Chains A and B, each alone.
Chain A
Amino acid sequence: MSTSIAARPRPAAARTGPIAWARANLFNTWWSTALTLALGYLILRGAWAFLDWGVIHAIWQVPQGPKGPNTDICRAAAGTGACWAVIGEKYRFILFGFYPYAQQWRPAIVIALFIALYCISANRRFWRKELALIWIAAMVLIGILMWGGVFGLTLVTESQWGGLPITLILATFALALAFPLAVLVALGRRSTRLPAVKLLCVMYVELIRGVPLITLLFMASVMFPLFMPNGFDVDKLLRAQVAITLFAGAYLAEVVRAGLQSLPKGQAEAADALGLSYWKKTLLVVLPQALRLVIPPLVNTFIGFFKDTSLVLIIGIFDLLKSGITAVAEPAWQGFGNEVYIVLALIYFAFCFAMSRYSRGLERELDRARRR
């Protein structure tokens, strides 16, 4: 027993607790200490500046003048305080665009339907064939609600649609329509017996992936009318939907192909040995396993489309971003773009962050199941 008390390791209690934690993670070296202090100062200053602008000096409401809202107090506070009144006045326009005011409960239900659809699809209990039926039913219901013209709903044409439903429709319908296409293209690209089909699939995927989405949207807006026989006219929104679907198809095909490649060869060989035909082998053995593997990257690709749908504003479609920008183009509200951008960013962020969180959790779960 010659060890002195000082030489013994310190008891565990002194190595835990907030102070010990801070010492280990914030102040372990002089360099780390300097960094912590500098960053802490910057964060506090930034947070205070934002609080000062966004809460303390912010203006939440403006008085109603004879010609609509009077934004003079917002203008007086410009630079020192945020004008959140613009959101209160304009939120229905930002969310629904030019959709008839009295009918805006319909797109509101559509938004709720989309969110419900995402939640159902995210649940692993619903991962079976019936899910396809749920999707088809939801899409039909969304179409009925948006267009109307039946069941006593007034007809609202696509040119009046706008805001968040457009963003959700473009992204979700692109996924739903591009998915079967992507599976076929991925299978075609993997086929060894059909070289001509393989070449066709490779050309489609590489051509689309090599150019920006905006070229496809331009094609849809200016070239598509030239391709069609005279007098045949398709709405701009539908054309953009076709362009985004073709775009999504190429990217999804690569995701599906990765899933097909990661499946052990033995699965297909075993199906061949049982004498299954190509389609039976593919539908019953290969795809159910391969698609399960690619759900996390599929969700990530979907997040990409969700953000990319904002590009349709360049060809003049009223998506969420465009209606936000239009809301502050009105003279009374000009100059309050940052407030609207923050709210739009929050909406996009809420959707994308929830999906990416989900995809990461799922990836971990599937990984664990595979390793077991």
Chain B
Amino acid sequence: MRLSWSDPRLRNLVWQILIIGAVVLAGWYLAHNTNRNLEQRHIATGFGFLGQAASIPIGESLLSYTPSVSTYGRALLIGVLNTLKVAVAGVVLATVLGTLVGIARLSPNWLLSRIAAIYVETVRDIPVLLQLFFWYGLLQTLPPPRAAFHPLPGVFLSNRGVKLPTIAWHAAHFWALVAFLAGCVLVWLIGRAADRRQAATGRRPRTWPTTLAALLGLPILVWLGLGAPLHVDMPALHGFNFQGGISITPEYAALLTGLVVYTATYIAEIVRSGIQAVAAGQWEAAGALGLPRGLVLRRIVLPQALRVIVPPMTSQYLNLVKNSSLAIAIGYQDIVSIADTTLNQTGQSIEGIAIIMAVYLTFSLSISLFMNWYNAHIALVER
């Protein structure tokens, strides 16, 4: 390297040092201000508050929690789980609804495709927060528990949410679940064996009886063998509220509905363009080979459409997870809501926001990694 301004490498080096230096300087200035401000306001630093007892009332939680006994750490963990509860259900339901609407938009039935188009075009142009308020307001107008809608036995719809009957948990159910998972593995093995037979002899053995037996027969046998325990916990009205059963709170229901209805419009467009991206010749060629329509969709069109669908779908899933942070507006206690209460109570706003950011970055990164893996898995292998 010559020590001359006309050497581009030297110029680049100097520019980079200047820019990085400016960023470091700005960061140091902000950190210095922050330290002084924290000292003046007597705000503690560090994550010691995680072990302190939290006085946050939490309405719904997957873990046991007692206000002013349990710690902030536990409260935040509950928040993370509540976010996950909405995110996982939201991603699954939005994918199902979005795919159905996307296919409906391509339907030869004019009325169906028009309705799907109107749904997509209107709902995606209205802010999701407004939609959340709308759904929450709608659920608030339901009658009180005493006059609850009662469409099916054990199902109650009221302004306290939805009550559903549940099966009392028993160890036998756990073993039946294990048997079901074992059945899934078995089905996969049977499928592989059938593939090998087909490759060797050109004829695929009949697999559905064994598949059915492995998926349904095995768990039922285990359940019967362990004494077939079954006790349905029916919700019933006691005084002013319901007891028994499981409940879906109005906050959760409104958040989930809003996110699913909104995100499904984007997913529908992705699915539609994915299917349209597959050339018509593919359908025709498969038809010419005599493949039935279902098999054409499953074996020819969908694998090709998925390649177009998966990358934009990833960003929609990320959007759904990020939009779940709007829970705070309607009072569902997700991680943002609980971290916000925490930082208001402790005054440690930097730590609180750092926790929120860390949680969402972890979610985003995990979804991106998984979807990238899946995308690589289904990508066209080019020589």
Q: Which residues of A line the B interface, CB within 8 A?
A: 25-26, 28, 32, 35-36, 39-40, 43, 193-197, 200, 207, 209-215, 218-219, 222-223, 225-230, 303, 307-308, 310-311, 313-314, 321, 325, 337-338, 341, 344-345, 348-349, 352-353, 356
Known contacts A40-B111, A196-B20, A214-B326; A348 and B134 CB within 8 A of each other: no
Q: Which chain A residue lies CB-closest to B35?
A: A226
When distances are taken between beta carbons in the complex, the residues of chain B under 8 Å from A310 are 127, 129-130
Tell me which of B110, B121, B126, B326 has the highest count of chain A C-beta atoms within 10 A of its own C-beta: B126
Known contacts A36-B111, A226-B350, A344-B130; A314 and B125 CB within 8 A of each other: no
Known contacts A211-B361, A223-B349, A314-B328; A325 and B109 CB within 8 A of each other: no
When distances are taken between beta carbons in the complex, the residues of chain B under 8 Å from A195 are 16
Chain B interface size, as a band, is 35 or more
Q: Are A215 and B353 in contact (CB under 8 A)?
A: yes
Question: How far, in Å, is A39 (CB) from chain B's closest CB?
Answer: 5
Q: Are B19 and A197 in contact (CB under 8 A)?
A: yes
Q: Are B360 and A43 in contact (CB under 8 A)?
A: no
Q: Which chain B residue lies CB-closest to A308?
A: B127
When distances are taken between beta carbons in the complex, the residues of chain B under 8 Å from A308 are 127
B158 interface residue, CB < 8 Å from A?
Answer: no
When distances are taken between beta carbons in the complex, the residues of chain A under 8 Å from B19 are 196-197, 200
Bound state CA distance, A193 and B360, in angstroms?
A: 32
Question: How far, in Å, is A213 (CB) from chain B's closest CB?
Answer: 8
Stretch at the interface among B36-44, B50-58, B74-82: B36-44
When distances are taken between beta carbons in the complex, the residues of chain A under 8 Å from B38 are 226
Q: Are A194 and B33 in contact (CB under 8 A)?
A: no
When distances are taken between beta carbons in the complex, the residues of chain A under 8 Å from B128 are 307
Q: Are B127 and A348 in contact (CB under 8 A)?
A: yes
Q: Are B33 and A348 in contact (CB under 8 A)?
A: no
When distances are taken between beta carbons in the complex, the residues of chain B under 8 Å from A227 are 30, 33-34
Q: Are A226 and B33 in contact (CB under 8 A)?
A: yes
Q: Are B357 and A211 in contact (CB under 8 A)?
A: yes
When distances are taken between beta carbons in the complex, the residues of chain B under 8 Å from A225 are 37
Bound state CA distance, A345 and B350, in angstroms?
A: 35
Q: Are B137 and A338 in contact (CB under 8 A)?
A: yes
Bound state CA distance, A40 and B114, in angstroms?
A: 12
5 A–B contacts from the bound complex (CB under 8 Å): A212-B336, A214-B326, A215-B357, A222-B343, A226-B350
Q: Are B130 and A215 in contact (CB under 8 A)?
A: no
When distances are taken between beta carbons in the complex, the residues of chain B under 8 Å from A356 are 125
Q: 0/1 per residue, B5-48, Cβ < 8 Å to A? A: 00010001001100110010000001001101110100000000
Bound state CA distance, A229 and B31, in angstroms?
A: 10
Q: Are B326 and A345 in contact (CB under 8 A)?
A: no
- Determine which of A196, A226, A349 lies in contact with B37 in the assembled complex, contact meaning CB atoms within 8 Å: A226
User: Which label, helix, strand, loop or mixed, suits the secondary structure of the A interface?
Assistant: helix
A40-B111, A321-B129 given. 10 additional CB < 8 A pairs? Answer: A35-B112, A36-B111, A195-B16, A196-B16, A209-B364, A228-B33, A337-B133, A348-B130, A349-B122, A352-B124
When distances are taken between beta carbons in the complex, the residues of chain A under 8 Å from B211 are none
Question: How far, in Å, is A164 (CB) from chain B's closest CB?
Answer: 13
Known contacts A28-B108, A308-B127, A310-B129; A211 and B33 CB within 8 A of each other: no
Question: How far, in Å, is A64 (CB) from chain B's closest CB?
Answer: 27
When distances are taken between beta carbons in the complex, the residues of chain A under 8 Å from B12 are 193-194
Q: Which chain B residue lies CB-closest to A350?
A: B125
When distances are taken between beta carbons in the complex, the residues of chain B under 8 Å from A344 are 130
Question: How far, in Å, is B239 (CB) from chain A's closest CB?
Answer: 26
Question: How far, in Å, is A358 (CB) from chain B's closest CB?
Answer: 13
B295 interface residue, CB < 8 Å from A?
Answer: no
Q: Are A43 and B115 in contact (CB under 8 A)?
A: yes
When distances are taken between beta carbons in the complex, the residues of chain A under 8 Å from B361 are 207, 210-211
Bound state CA distance, A40 and B111, in angstroms?
A: 8
Question: How far, in Å, is A252 (CB) from chain B's closest CB?
Answer: 15
B365 interface residue, CB < 8 Å from A?
Answer: yes
When distances are taken between beta carbons in the complex, the residues of chain A under 8 Å from B60 are none
Q: Are B126 and A349 in contact (CB under 8 A)?
A: yes
B322 interface residue, CB < 8 Å from A?
Answer: yes
B168 interface residue, CB < 8 Å from A?
Answer: no
Bound state CA distance, A228 and B29, in angstroms?
A: 9
B356 interface residue, CB < 8 Å from A?
Answer: yes
